[in-house]
Amino acid sequence: MQHDHIKHLVCPGTDHELVLAPGFWEAKGQIQKGELICSLDGRRVPIRGCIPRFHEGGEYVASFGKQWNRFRRTQIDKFNGTSLSRDRFYAGTRWRAEEIQGTRVLEVGCGAGRFTQILLDAGAVVYAVDYSSSVLACLENNAPQPNLCVIQADLYRMPLRPGSFDFVFCYGVLQHTPDPRESFMSLVPYLKPGGRLAIDVYRKGWVLAPYKSKYLYRPITKRIPPDLLFRAVQWYVPKWLPLDTLIKRVPYVGSALGMLIPCWNYSYLPLTKEQQREWAVLDTFDALASRHDSPQTFEKVEAWFRQAGLEEIDVRYGGNGILGNGRAPKGSSAQVTSTGC
């Protein structure tokens, strides 16, 4: 992180400033190691590897830290030679690069930084937050960048001032938290008046078969130690992938037959064979290992936006299931209007 980033951070849950303690180590314009001190109670927050660590991550995100550090470059456009992440970002958010340029964007659940790159390329000042150790991968993939501040923190207690972001972006996160609705509501206060929010969440039901087969296996696989599960997935997926590709092309019954063995198959994407294997291992592990996986209905997601007091609500099927966009009222920050589910 850089010195200029500190003035935009606060002690979580308060509006109290954080100050940099003496004795920090700085190199190449980045604070590599040190401590931030809360002006309210003197609490100290370590900075390690250029990243302020407001939270060290919990057990339920251990698998995400493992997968994104192991496959840190797999889904990054500038490394895989595609525009897949860029295309997904702009199709899902319906934002335009020119309106993002020069704005402040909060990215919650940055992972390895596949969308962080898109935001930085558009000229945004990005505060990228993740609960897991994947912050290391995000920083490595996108630094050094004066417009990037990577933070390890809990989305329920982010060290950022409410009402300070033009855009809040959160893809691939909500369904993996203990309470998706509460997690959604935690994002809304950080919007400026008129600020825009984009989220996605898995869709409830069996519409997206054969990938729904994970719910047959997850009662067992989510309890397997991540290292052991990863070795199993890494062993069987490359061997099964060619047969899975053939099975899923069988008319009428291919989708159902493809549910027998969980395998995330991207043979239809413009990827090399090696990239297809990497994506298959990555996403199969992601599907089977995550502690929480709570798909939602269209009606429930739409209700979240209404209860948050957002305007210009656009909820639709797409992406990984359901996409949701909305805008905070221009006169004031959005507020939660109901605690119902």
- pLDDT tens per residue, range 115-140: 999 999 999 999 999 999 999 999 99
Distance CA 168, CA 294 (A): 21
Reply yes or no on whether the pLDDT at 340 is more than 60. no
- Clarify whether residues 162 and 240 are in a common domain: no
- Clarify whether residues 191 and 318 are in a common domain: yes
Please, where are the H alpha helices in the chain? Answer: 3-6, 62-70, 77-80, 84-93, 97-100, 114-121, 135-142, 180-187, 214-221, 226-247, 254-257, 273-289, 298-307
Residue 264's domain spans which residues? 211-289
- Clarify whether residues 98 and 182 are in a common domain: yes
- pLDDT tens per residue, range 147-170: 999 999 999 999 999 999 999 999
For the purposes of burial, counting CB atoms within 10 Å of the CB of 252, is it exposed (0-12), middle (13-18) or buried (19 or more)? exposed
- Clarify whether residues 63 and 177 are in a common domain: yes
- Clarify whether residues 163 and 137 are in a common domain: yes
pLDDT band at 338 (very low <50, low <70, confident <90, very high): very low
Distance CA 277, CA 264 (A): 9
Enumerate residues 6+ apart whose C-beta is below 8 A from 75.
84, 85, 112, 114, 279, 282
- Clarify whether residues 258 and 314 are in a common domain: no
Distance CA 25, CA 139 (A): 18
- Clarify whether residues 96 and 234 are in a common domain: no
- Clarify whether residues 100 and 187 are in a common domain: yes
The pLDDT, as a whole number, for residue 58 is 61
pTM above 0.75, yes or no: yes
Distance CA 31, CA 45 (A): 13
Distance CA 107, CA 334 (A): 18
For residue 142, what is the domain's CATH number?
Answer: 3.40.50.150
Specify the DSSP element, H or E, that contains 202: strand 191-202
Distance CA 156, CA 184 (A): 10
Q: 248-252, 274-278, 302-306: lowest mean pLDDT where?
A: 248-252
- Clarify whether residues 132 and 246 are in a common domain: no
Distance CA 202, CA 198 (A): 14
